[in-house]
Amino acid sequence: MTRILKAILFYAGAFALCAPPLFVFVWMILTGLKTGVQNISYPPEFIFLPTLENFRAVFQQYNFFRYLLNSLIIATLATAISLALGLPAAYSIAKYRQGKIGILILVARMTPFVSYLLPWYIIFRYLKLIDTYTALTITHLIITMPMVIWLMVSFFESMPAELEDAAMIDGCSRWQSFIRIVLPLVRNGIATSAIMSFIFSWNQFLFSLILSGPKTKTVPVAVYNFISYGKIDWAGIGAAATLIVLPVSIFAFFVRKSIVQGLTMGALKD
């Protein structure tokens, strides 16, 4: 009897914790499936005939494919560059105990992003890089790179040094031992940091709002543009937001195990 009671309490507690964020999620999806009129009716309708009209409109009226592609390109580039530069950086911070440099990188990450925007805007305008993938990718690096570095440092620190010694004696240069021995052993960490930086870049709004233009607009900014002077296209926003969240959510669902592992594994030796 107490076991049933315990189970009921457990699930009630779990529901109480999960309901608020899930409710927002559900509301967003429902908004996308309703017509404009249904969306502003009061009290809100929960039983209605769903329509996919909004999703069609998002692609036809707002050129949403283009924005998805922009986001994909920028997030992929930012993630790739973060890994290419961040992995060796994290390795050398861990290996040569460059904790101070690590802190410096963290400071760059913790500085409010708004304070970067003005100088960046001026510099990029001067370089004629406003509304280019280059500018957006570079700015996203300030988010993704420290994430890669800080996640990976603990992974590299937990690697036994003898493995590299053995590799060096077996005939590797330091680079070869890094690529052939060290990297394969921290692949969980690499997967985690890649996923995290992709998601953070995908969701980044502020930099893209200021530095993108018609050619490079990313999806979060595109959704923001659904709010115009005259009206707010709630149905369109709902449909577009669902489309933004969907790929990342599906992705995260499949790799959730490795994310949890990656976030905790480097923390403990062995």
Partner 1 sequence: MANVILKNLVKRFNAVTAVDNLSIEIHDREFAVLVGPSGCGKTTALRMIAGLETITSGEIFIGDTLVNDMAPKDRDIAMVFQNYALYPHMNVRDNLGFGLKIRKFPQEEIDSRVQEAADILGIQELLDRKPKELSGGQRQRVAVGRAIVRKPKVFLFDEPLSNLDAKLRVAMRAEISKLHRRLGATIIYVTHDQVEAMTMADRIFIMHNGALQQTGMPLEVYGQPANRFVAGFIGSPAMNFIEAALVRDAGAWFIDAGGFRVRAPEAFYARLEPHAGRPVIFGVRPEDMAAHDPAAGAGDGNTVKARADVVETLGSEIFVYLTCGAHSVVARMEAPERPLTVGQTLEVDLKMVKTHIFDKETSRTIV
Does residue 165 touch partner 1 according to CB under 8 A?
Answer: yes
Does residue 180 touch partner 1 according to CB under 8 A?
Answer: yes
Q: 5 vs 169, which CB is nearer to partner 1?
A: 169
The contact pattern for partner 1, residues 113-152, with x = CB under 8 A and - = no contact, is ----------------------------------------
For 118, counting Cβ atoms within 10 Å of its Cβ (0-12 exposed, 13-18 middle, 19+ buried), the class is: exposed
Q: 85 vs 181, which CB is nearer to partner 1?
A: 181
Interface pick for partner 1 out of 49, 169, 229, 253 (rule CB under 8 A): 169
Q: How far is the CB of 194 from partner 1 (least distance, A)?
A: 18
Residue written as token pair 């659904």: 226
Q: 45 vs 170, which CB is nearer to partner 1?
A: 170
Q: Which residues pair with 227 in a beta bridge?
A: 232
Does residue 184 touch partner 1 according to CB under 8 A?
Answer: yes
SS (H, E, C) the chain: CHHHHHHHHHHHHHHHHHHHHHHHHHHHHHHHHCCHHHHHCCCCCCCCCCCCHHHHHHHHHHCHHHHHHHHHHHHHHHHHHHHHHHHHHHHHHHHCCCHHHHHHHHHHHHCCCHHHHHHHHHHHHHCCCCCCHHHHHHHHHHHHHHHHHHHHHHHHHCCCHHHHHHHHHHCCCHHHHHHHHHHHHCHHHHHHHHHHHHHHHHHCCHHHHHHCCCCCCCHHHHHHCCECCCCECHHHHHHHHHHHHHHHHHHHHHCHHHHHHHHHHCCCCC
Q: Which residues pair with 232 in a beta bridge?
A: 227
Q: How far is the CB of 173 from partner 1 (least distance, A)?
A: 7
Q: 49 vs 169, which CB is nearer to partner 1?
A: 169
Does residue 170 touch partner 1 according to CB under 8 A?
Answer: yes
Q: How far is the CB of 90 from partner 1 (least distance, A)?
A: 19
Interface pick for partner 1 out of 160, 215, 246, 267 (rule CB under 8 A): 160
Q: 44 vs 99, which CB is nearer to partner 1?
A: 99
Does residue 176 touch partner 1 according to CB under 8 A?
Answer: yes
For 258, counting Cβ atoms within 10 Å of its Cβ (0-12 exposed, 13-18 middle, 19+ buried), the class is: middle
Does residue 172 touch partner 1 according to CB under 8 A?
Answer: yes
Does residue 179 touch partner 1 according to CB under 8 A?
Answer: no
**Region near partner 1 per CB under 8 A, out of 23-31, 132-140, 159-167, 254-262:** 159-167
Q: 185 vs 265, which CB is nearer to partner 1?
A: 185
Interface pick for partner 1 out of 103, 104, 107, 166 (rule CB under 8 A): 166
Does residue 60 touch partner 1 according to CB under 8 A?
Answer: no
The contact set with partner 1 (CB under 8 A) reads: 160, 162-163, 165-173, 176, 180-181, 184-185
